[in-house]
Amino acid sequence: MKSFFQRPITRRLMFAGGAALGGVQAVRAAFGADAGASHGAHGGGVRNGMPPIDETVHATHDGMITVGEVDSARNGFDPHEILTDWDRGRLVRDADGRVAREFDILAEDKEIEIAPGLLFPAWTYNGRVPGPTLRATEGERLRIRFRNFGSHPHSLHFHGIHAARMDGVPGAGEVPPGGEFVYEFDAFPFGCHLYHCHSVPLKRHIHKGLYGAFIVDPDPARHPEEAAAARSRLLGDPENLRWQEFVMVMNAFDTNFDDENEIYAVNTVAHAYTKHPIPIDRARPVRVYLVNVTEFDPINSFHLHANFFDYYDHGTTLTPTSRTIDTVMQCQAQRGILEFSFGNHESGQYMFHAHQTEFAELGWMSLFDVREGAA
Ligand SMILES: [Cu+2]
């Protein structure tokens, strides 16, 4: 964030005044109504000497989200599918008899639609932003083959435990265009983690879209004292199947390259879960793997309406690190697991969003559609 005086044209002025920087018109078009003009327009009649409220202005409050639909087929990814499409890789048996889990990731430049009609020149892992959600089990040997088809050097830097030569930084696993590298390490610790490119300038490589979630499920055999909790986190275990699990990567996009974000989202597409709420079966508990990769803004946050959740910071414990909270903030790369239930709620649409309300209005606003028996 920069002060008003350092940066005379801010995104707020863009919305309010229509300054014609590159990308600005597209942002305005994507949001339809003038997002900056309707504040203070609640109520009717003459108030404090002001003229009567124009009801058409008032109406923009109700629909203050992007207008239209993003073409997921053209993007090649759908934010609703990203919520649950775990990449489990494939299991192979090594010469020493140990089972390893292998993944393939490639980097490529790709234009993606982040709000209706608004294209962003992204750098992607496997053609999507965020990249694939890699999901492994604690203690497995992991092998990730990375090929760089992009126009710049890139890497995979994992938040996990590994040797320096596997760190995915310049000089250790950075891959030039056309090159390839295989990262290998063991899946520790269990938790909710992430990976991202660590080439320089780092803020540009991350912000362009090179990041993804990396989930390590606990191995119940290693946690006999908390085996039930561990089993509930182990993908495919009967205990786990009761849960509705979602991965949510909080991200944002600087569409005019002024080092400030114009669009905010969970899993890239602004307001995707406002227009098409996430179905929730009222009877089943909900677990969210939440990761913040937002560049340029120091923090992002998740606020749940009408409910409270338990939180596991970094997901590296089997007992909550915070209980009964309704808001959590994360700096970039911070992440955690949220657990909550709508079991005692009536059916309906329940909001969740960044409690930086500016982020919410610029795309990071969402809904759970809680129903009886929804799948
Ligand atoms: Cu990069």
* Residue 93 and residue 54 share a domain: no
From the CA of 165, how far away is ligand 1's center (Å)? 17
Q: Provide the domain limits for residue 260.
A: 246-371
Indicate the number of domains in the chain: 3
C-alpha radius of gyration, the chain, whole number: 22
From the CA of 149, how far away is ligand 1's center (Å)? 11
* Residue 159 and residue 24 share a domain: no
Q: Please identify every residue whose CB atom is under 5 Å from ligand 1, which is an ion.
A: 154, 197, 199, 205, 210
* Residue 102 and residue 46 share a domain: no
CB 186 within 8 A of CB 141: yes
Q: What does the pLDDT profile of the chain (375 residues) look like in tens digits?
A: 443 333 333 443 333 333 333 343 444 444 543 333 333 333 333 334 444 444 333 333 456 889 999 999 999 999 999 999 999 999 999 999 998 999 999 999 999 999 999 999 999 999 999 999 999 999 999 999 999 999 999 999 999 999 999 999 999 999 999 999 999 999 999 999 999 999 999 999 999 999 999 999 999 999 999 999 999 999 999 999 999 999 999 999 999 999 999 999 999 999 999 999 999 999 999 999 999 999 999 999 999 999 999 999 999 999 999 999 999 999 999 999 999 999 999 999 999 999 999 999 999 999 999 999 865
Alpha-carbon gap, residue 363 to 12, rounded angstroms: 14
End-to-end CA distance of the chain: 41
Alpha-carbon gap, residue 322 to 43, rounded angstroms: 39
**255-258 CB contacts, 8 Å cutoff, 24+ apart:** 255/23, 255/26, 255/27, 255/114, 255/118, 255/120, 256/21, 256/22, 256/23, 256/24, 257/22, 258/7, 258/9, 258/21
Q: What is the CATH number of the domain that holds 259?
A: 2.60.40.420
From the CA of 107, how far away is ligand 1's center (Å)? 8
* Residue 196 and residue 290 share a domain: no
* Residue 291 and residue 217 share a domain: no
* Residue 106 and residue 172 share a domain: yes
Residue in the block written with tokens 């830097």: 157
Q: Which pLDDT does position 3 carry in this prediction? A: 38
Token pair recorded at residue 216 = 């390590």
Instruction: Out of 201, 234, 267, pick the residue that ends a domain.
Output: 234
β-partners of residue 103 are 144
From the CA of 127, how far away is ligand 1's center (Å)? 14
Alpha-carbon gap, residue 171 to 211, rounded angstroms: 20
Flag whether 6 is in a domain: no
- 229-251 pLDDT tens trace: 999 999 999 999 999 999 999 99
Alpha-carbon gap, residue 114 to 364, rounded angstroms: 12
Flag whether 288 is in a domain: yes
Flag whether 197 is in a domain: yes
Flag whether 70 is in a domain: no
